[in-house]
Structures are given as C-alpha cells and as structure tokens.
Amino acid sequence: MQFNDLGEKTEVFYGTDKVISEELLFFSKTRQHIDTCMDYTRPSFAIRIESIKKSFVDAKSRGVKLRYLTEITDANISYCQEMMSIIDEVRHLDGIKGNFMISEIEYLAPATSHEETKLSSLIIYSNVREIVEHQQYVFETLWNKSMAAEKRIRELEEGITTHYQTKVVEDPDEVVNEISHLIANSNELCACLPSGGMQYSYNHFSEIRKKILEKQKKGEHKGVRYISNITQDNVNLVKVFVDAGIRIRHVKNLPPLSFGVSDKEIAATIEKMEGGKMVQSLLLSNEPAYIDHFRSIFEDLWAKGIDAEDRIKEIDEGTDLTDIEIIRNPRKGIERAWSYVEKSEYEILSIFATPNTFRRQMDMGLLQLLKEATEQRHVKVRILIPGDKQIKDTIDQAAKVCPLVDFRVAEENLQMRITIVLIDKKDCMIVELRDDTKDSSYYAAGLATYSNSKSIISSYASIFESLWKQNQLYEQLKIHDKMQQEFIMNYVLLYNQYLD
C-alpha cells in the first residue's frame, strides 16, 4: 500500500474472493459514472456471477451512468447482448488487452487471465487523482475508436468482417492471449505445428480447446485439425490430442513456419518452440488473402498427410512408414537433394546422369558441399560419372577442390536419364534429366522423387556397388591390357634385336 500527502492511496489485493469484494465495494461507492474496459473473456463473468451482475443493476437504478467497452466475439455475443439490457451503452473494439474500471474518484484493475474460465486473482486499486485522470483519458481514447455493440453483433450474425488488420505481437504473454482469442473465436480451427508447437499448445490452450471440442460435439463447431511430424519423441502427446477428439495427420517435411488458421484469422511464427518454449514473436492477420493463403497450405499438407492412428500404429509396432514424394518443381527437387547432402552423417553415393549434369552441379557449388561433408563431418563420398572427351579435366578440377571424394569415370554408355543420390542409406533422391543441352540445372532437370523406402534404397545401393565394382574391374582390365601390350612390344623389340 502506498499513501501520498493528500491521503490518496494505491493498493494491491490478492485472491479471487478479495477481487470480487473490491469490485462490489467500488460499485457501491460510485455516484456519477462507471466506465469499464474488459477483454473478450470478462463479459461472461459480469453476467454469470450474480453479485457482479446485481452491482451493475443497482448502480444504474441509482442513476449511475454505465459504459462498457469490450471485444464482442462469437463466443461472448450472448453475454454482451444481455449486458446491453442492463448497461447504458456497450461498445466493441478489436483486440482489447487488459481490464480496468474508472469512477469519478477511483480506479480498479483486475489482472488479466489467459484462461477464459479463470477469475482474476489480483486487483489494483487507486484513488490517486493523477492515476484516475490518466486512465479516464485512456478509456476515452479507446471509446472513441470503438463501434456500437449493435453494429458489431449484426456483423457477426451476418458473417461480415470490415475491420482488417495485420500486426506482429512481440510479448510472450500477449502472444498466448492472442492465440487464446483465435481459438475461442473460431468456428473451425486448423494448425500446422512441429513437436515443440504441440507441447506449447498443450501447455497453454488445453482448457479453451476443451470448450471448442464440446461445441463440436453439439454441432456448434466444425472441429480441430492438426498437422505435425509424429515421431517416437512426441507420439504420447499426439495420443492425448487424438483421444481428446482432435484429428491429426503426420507430415514428415513441415513448412519452415508454424501457423494456425481459423475461419476468421491466422497466427504464424518461424519459431520452433523446442520443448514447448514460449513464442516471442507472432504474426496475426484477419485479412482474407492471408486466411485463404494459409488455409490453402494447410489443405495441401492435409491431403498428403498420413492419418495419426496409422502413424501411431507403425511407431508402436516398431516399424516405420515409407515416404515417397514426387516433386514437380525442378528447383525444389534440386534444393531438396542438396539439403540431404548438407545433413549427411557418414555416406553419400551418387550416380550422375551425364557428364554435363555433374558439371552443372559443380557450377552451382556442389563441390563446396562435398568438401565440407568429407573434411568437417568425415563423410565417405563416392561418385560415378559417365565419361566423355572432357571428363578427365572435369575430374581433375573436382579432385583439387575435394581431394577426399572418390570420383570414378564410368563407361560412356552408362549415360541415362536420371541422377541418383543416396544419403546415409536412409534417404534417396532421384532427379530426372529433361534437357542436357541447357546451361542451368533448373532448366535441365525435370521431376524429382524422394523416398526413404528401405527396399528402394537397398536396390539402388546394390546397383551403385555393382557399377562401382564393374568400373574397378574395367580399370584393372585396361591396366592389364596395357601391360600385356607393353610386354608384347618389348618382346618383339628384343626379338628383332636378337635377329639383327
């Protein structure tokens, strides 16, 4: 408690019972006006808690002018409509944060709770004139930006949104509050989350999600869908979500950002949220273009995903699902192949379609990746390249940059229409050759196929080993043939000398 020379004071009270009693006392002492600013979760308490509702009614009966500012949503619209019958004027403002009430002499601020069903357990009281005047100014500023409750309710009932905005939130607590709002205000909810994002969701939004799933059972909500990479590490958490009624699909390669999209807005972050770590920065928007874009991404991933129950069964049985993916964009296909080279741990095997295919990759910087793999991570790299007239110079140039890479020249008739890259015997990339005359790999390449199928990988690995040994045998035969020819020539030379 703090007092000034005028006897004015500022106090902090703790406990939900004390919070309610201070609010009731505040109402009973007011004679002129009460201006209230509350976030979207509070109207329900003003109606459901009988003592607070009665305080509003009693104050109005004494001639106290009541104004109430909040964010009116689908979730709280019925409470706001009831409040309109007992309060002089109710208004709506998007994204209200924080709760406070002002009378002609006092200021009261219940702490914000991130849980919709939880009462505040802390409240700040002050009758310091400067504080009361300042907060009255804040209220008037917000009030002047707001719209009539009747108009907002009509928009919600007609499905109209006219106030579009895109913003970035950089306060972790506010991020939680914004996501809570998105969930509570949704009629349909879709999210693409990494493992850490699933844990973050479980830590902060379980209660709100339960209410949404209850509405789904009543046919009042279209439900919740998640996409994630389901692994041994997060399978138990996925089971909890599935048991709760959330539909989940497994996608191995998730986008580089996490996002949630409802029928009204989107939230996205590039943070991975390892272990459920708090999100520090969040992009929010209710712009239709953003909503359509992220929904399109989600639906595309959903269509390619594997049902969580199938994925869980495979993990529980100790087996793994095979991923086979067709990549139609040549640039993305080549970039995917390079990404596996960058992540390689112990072995890279590759057969290039043509000598030109290898040269184009040299121009793009492949040799630097191979150099880092062999010298920094001690990866064993073997590469087969079909021969042509310039292949010796090409190999010599490559060997100078990557002395630890084992290059071999295959027979010229080995030239084919695909390049094969095998990484650590667990990832396989096959890139189609479309036009070998092009200077750029992006124009020369066609479709790419990714697979982690053990049978496919072992088959291509066997083909590689056969060609590798065949090349080794061919080189040995060429050496033997050369030695034999040299022996015959020397023999003939000596024989001619003998005859002379």
Task: Answer yes or no: do 25 and 119 share one domain.
Answer: yes
Query: Is 231:251 a contact under the CB 8 Å cutoff?
Result: no
Whole-number Cα distances in Å, 323 to 33, 428, 458: 66, 10, 15
DSSP state of 467: H
pLDDT of 368 over the 80 cut: yes
Query: What are the tens digits of pLDDT across the range 130-185?
Result: 999 999 999 999 999 888 999 899 888 877 655 778 889 999 999 999 999 899 98
CA angle 61, 62, 65 (to 5 degrees): 85
pLDDT band (50, 70, 90) for residue 85: very high
Query: What are the tens digits of pLDDT across the range 461-498?
Result: 988 888 888 765 555 444 444 544 554 455 456 545 55
How many CB atoms lie under 10 A from the CB of residue 141?
9
**Residue at a domain's end among 278, 296, 316:** 316
Please name the helix (run of DSSP H) or strand (run of DSSP E) that holds residue 476, with its range, or none. helix 454-499
pLDDT band (50, 70, 90) for residue 51: very high
Q: What percent of the chain has pLDDT over 70?
A: 89
Task: Answer yes or no: do 7 and 123 share one domain.
Answer: yes
Q: Which residue has the higher pLDDT, 168 or 411?
A: 168
Task: Answer yes or no: do 32 and 130 share one domain.
Answer: yes
Residue 500 in any domain: the answer is no
Task: Answer yes or no: do 145 and 170 share one domain.
Answer: no
What b/e readout covers 217-227, taking b as 16+ CB neighbours within 10 angstroms? eeeebbbbbbb
Residue 497 in any domain: the answer is no
Query: Is 371:400 a contact under the CB 8 Å cutoff?
Result: no
Task: Answer yes or no: do 426 and 377 share one domain.
Answer: yes
Burial of 442 (0-12, 13-18, 19+ CB in 10 A): middle
Residue 438 in any domain: the answer is yes
Mean pLDDT of the chain: 87
pLDDT of 294 over the 50 cut: yes
Task: Answer yes or no: do 263 and 345 share one domain.
Answer: no
Task: Answer yes or no: do 9 and 128 share one domain.
Answer: yes
Distance CA 54, CA 402 (A): 81
Query: Is 203:276 a contact under the CB 8 Å cutoff?
Result: yes
**Alpha-carbon torsion angle 198, 204, 206, 207, nearest 10:** -170
Q: Quick one: pLDDT at residue 117?
A: 60
The position carrying tokens 């930006």 is: 145
Q: What percent of the chain has pLDDT over 90?
A: 59
Distance CA 395, CA 397 (A): 5
Please name the helix (run of DSSP H) or strand (run of DSSP E) that holds residue 227, with its range, or none. strand 224-228
**What is the separation, in whole angstroms, between the first and last Cα of the chain?**
125
Task: Answer yes or no: do 274 and 345 share one domain.
Answer: no
Task: Answer yes or no: do 17 and 33 share one domain.
Answer: yes
Edge-to-edge strands, sheet with 266-269: 166-169, 282-285, 266-269, 258-262, 189-192, 224-228, 247-250, 306-307
Distance CA 312, CA 327 (A): 26
Task: Answer yes or no: do 359 and 378 share one domain.
Answer: yes
Task: Give residue 388's domain range.
Answer: 324-481
Residue 490 in any domain: the answer is no
Q: Quick one: pLDDT at residue 2?
A: 52
Q: Where are the alpha helices (DSSP H) in 62-171?
A: 77-83, 129-145, 149-158
- Torsion sign over Cα 10, 177, 45, 32: positive
pLDDT band (50, 70, 90) for residue 307: very high
Residue 273 in any domain: the answer is yes
Residue 486 in any domain: the answer is no
**Alpha-carbon torsion angle 34, 35, 40, 41, nearest 10:** -30
Three-state secondary structure string covering 23-60: HHHHHHHCCCEEEEECCCCCHHHHHHCHHHHHHHHHHH
For 254, how many CA atoms within 13 A lie in the half-sphere containing its CB? 22
Q: Quick one: pLDDT at residue 269?
A: 94
Query: Is 225:248 a contact under the CB 8 Å cutoff?
Result: yes
Edge-to-edge strands, sheet with 347-351: 324-327, 445-451, 427-433, 418-423, 347-351, 380-386, 406-410
Please name the helix (run of DSSP H) or strand (run of DSSP E) that holds residue 208, with its range, or none. helix 195-217
Residue 495 in any domain: the answer is no
**Alpha carbon 182 to its chain's center:** 16
Nearest to 438 by CA among 329, 330, 327, 337: 330
**Residue at a domain's end among 106, 132, 157:** 157
Distance CA 201, CA 176 (A): 10
What residues have CB less than 8 Å from 469, skipping those under 6 apart?
none
- Torsion sign over Cα 22, 28, 32, 35: positive
The encoded tokens of residue 135 equal: 């907060």
**Predicted TM-score of the model (pTM):** 0.49
Query: Is 397:366 a contact under the CB 8 Å cutoff?
Result: no
Determine the average pLDDT of the residues in 213-237.
91
Query: What are the tens digits of pLDDT across the range 318-358?
Result: 765 566 788 989 999 999 999 999 999 999 999 999 999 99
**Residue at a domain's end among 157, 176, 206:** 157
Q: What is the CATH number of the domain that holds 353?
A: 3.30.870.10
Task: Answer yes or no: do 142 and 174 share one domain.
Answer: no
Distance CA 167, CA 267 (A): 10
Q: Could you give the number of structural domains in the chain?
A: 3
Task: Answer yes or no: do 344 and 477 share one domain.
Answer: yes
Residue 262 in any domain: the answer is yes
